[in-house]
Amino acid sequence: MRKWIHFPRQEGQVSRQAHADFPEQGIYEREIGRSGFFGPATHLHHKHAPTGWSDWQGPLRPRLLDLNQLQQISTPCPWNVPDILFNAHCRYRLWKLDSAMPKLARNADGDELLFIHQGEGELFCDYGHLTIRDGDYIVLPRSTMWRIEPTSPMTILLIEATNDSYQLPEKGMVGPHAVFDAAMLDTPKIDDAFLAQQDENEWQVEIKRHQQISTITYPFNPLDAIGWHGDLAVVRINWRDIRPLMSHRYHLPPSAHTTFVASRFVICTFVPRPIESDPGALKVPFYHSNDDYDEVLFYHAGDFFSRDNIDAGMVSFHPAGFTHGPHPKAFAAGQAYKKKFTDEVAVMLDTRDALEIGESALVVENPDYVNSWKVK
């Protein structure tokens, strides 16, 4: 058994409440925390912005990847898509799909999470049929057979829980129905569309295991179920079904927006919500040193209120080990309370293990991103 060294203390000028009512000379609050936002933490008050660096050298720098610039052609096989970020427990990719998959896919390496960034289509899998659209999360349990028929060109974020599974977060004192009720999770249907796609033609299944592909050929469509019962299935929820936790007097940490949990990483969803209205409350994300987790944010839609010059389809990557937080313009706008409501939609990946960057992603990196915190 282990126990954190834990004995709350205070020194100098401090606020009584984190993220609110800062000392006059210490408006720049920085949180130093462990275990993401779940462990012990200390809040320091600084005279200057903790991100006010004048120069940065070395590989730890924050990165911005414009995935809109990826030279990526549409492919009917998700296993042909190169990694953007990866480690032993997670693989992060962006998939362009313009036409129906002629073969079934099956991931034997772990659960697969699909986030539909653009487009819509029909998903057929072991469990039946789902119509899918932009903003949908689809959790595909390990070894599920599936294929997609787009009805408009699709861009899909793929996040693999390698040798792992996706589960729901423990919601504690707010209860199991907060953020989204499990009753909101949709499952595939054995409907007319599913039954109509069953045939006696030859079909192939491309199975990924240990990043290698095996192909199985059937003289019939193996998606031939006529029914199922149990408590394991493909599930779908759209970001529009998420009702975020809010506090008008306190800026909640990203962990309050957790959507799915794996053993070594979490997925959070930021959706539109009212901005804190209490005069003393922080109104933008706080500066923080999340020294145990790499942080990745995929920008899906809207105006990203804590960042500057960020467009939908971009990804920010902040490795563990340095302080980060809102850009100077965003911080100033928060102090002025210029916006009363956020309209951003973003998907955050927080990994306990360091991520590596794929070669294809390096080509679309904005090398000047590290300088975007400088006051101009």
Give me the CATH number covering residue 221: 2.60.120.10
Give long-range contacts, CB 8 A cutoff, 24+ apart: 251-254. 251/19, 251/20, 251/276, 251/281, 251/282, 251/283, 251/284, 251/285, 251/286, 253/37, 254/37, 254/285, 254/348, 254/350
The whole-number pLDDT of residue 78 equals: 97
CA 214/CA 14 separation, integer angstroms:
60
CA 62/CA 70 separation, integer angstroms:
19
Same domain, 225 and 100: yes
Same domain, 204 and 281: no
Lookup result for tokens 């996706």:
166
Which residues of the chain fall below pLDDT 70? 26, 305-306, 376
Phi-psi region of 186 (alpha: psi -120 to 50; beta: other; left: phi over 0): beta
4 located within any domain: no
Same domain, 198 and 92: yes
Same domain, 196 and 258: no
- Name the strand (E) or helix (H) holding 362: helix 359-362
CA 175/CA 181 separation, integer angstroms:
10
Amino acid at 56: W
75 located within any domain: no
The whole-number pLDDT of residue 376 equals: 64
Least Cα distance to 315 among 253, 271, 365 occurs for: 365
323 located within any domain: yes
Same domain, 257 and 167: no
Half-sphere exposure of 52 (CA within 13 A, CB side): 11
The whole-number pLDDT of residue 131 equals: 98
Least Cα distance to 347 among 248, 238, 227 occurs for: 238
The whole-number pLDDT of residue 29 equals: 84
Number of domains the chain contains: 2
165 located within any domain: yes
Same domain, 232 and 87: yes
The whole-number pLDDT of residue 303 equals: 83
Q: Which residues are part of the catalytic machinery?
A: 251
Read off the tokens for 156.
């899909």
| Chain centroid, CA 337 distance in Å | 27
Same domain, 199 and 275: no
Contact 45, 26 (CB under 8 A): yes
On whether the pTM is more than 0.85, the answer is yes
Lookup result for tokens 């033609």:
201
Least Cα distance to 264 among 235, 236, 292 occurs for: 292
Least Cα distance to 113 among 164, 167, 157 occurs for: 157
From 239, 257, 282, give the residue that closes a domain.
239
Task: Give the range of the structural domain holding residue 170, as residue numbers without chain letter.
Answer: 83-239
Same domain, 221 and 92: yes
The whole-number pLDDT of residue 322 equals: 85
199 located within any domain: yes
99 located within any domain: yes
The whole-number pLDDT of residue 75 equals: 94
From 224, 239, 254, give the residue that closes a domain.
239
The whole-number pLDDT of residue 93 equals: 98
1 located within any domain: no
The whole-number pLDDT of residue 126 equals: 98
Maximum CA pair distance of the chain? Answer: 76
The whole-number pLDDT of residue 124 equals: 98
314 located within any domain: yes
CA 168/CA 180 separation, integer angstroms:
10
Read off the tokens for 320.
């563990």
From 219, 239, 259, give the residue that closes a domain.
239
Provide the annotated binding site for Fe cation.
288, 294, 324
Contact 315, 295 (CB under 8 A): no
Same domain, 38 and 158: no
Question: What values do phi and psi take at 235, rounded to 5?
Answer: -130, 155
The whole-number pLDDT of residue 50 equals: 86
Same domain, 226 and 258: no
Same domain, 278 and 365: yes
Same domain, 200 and 321: no
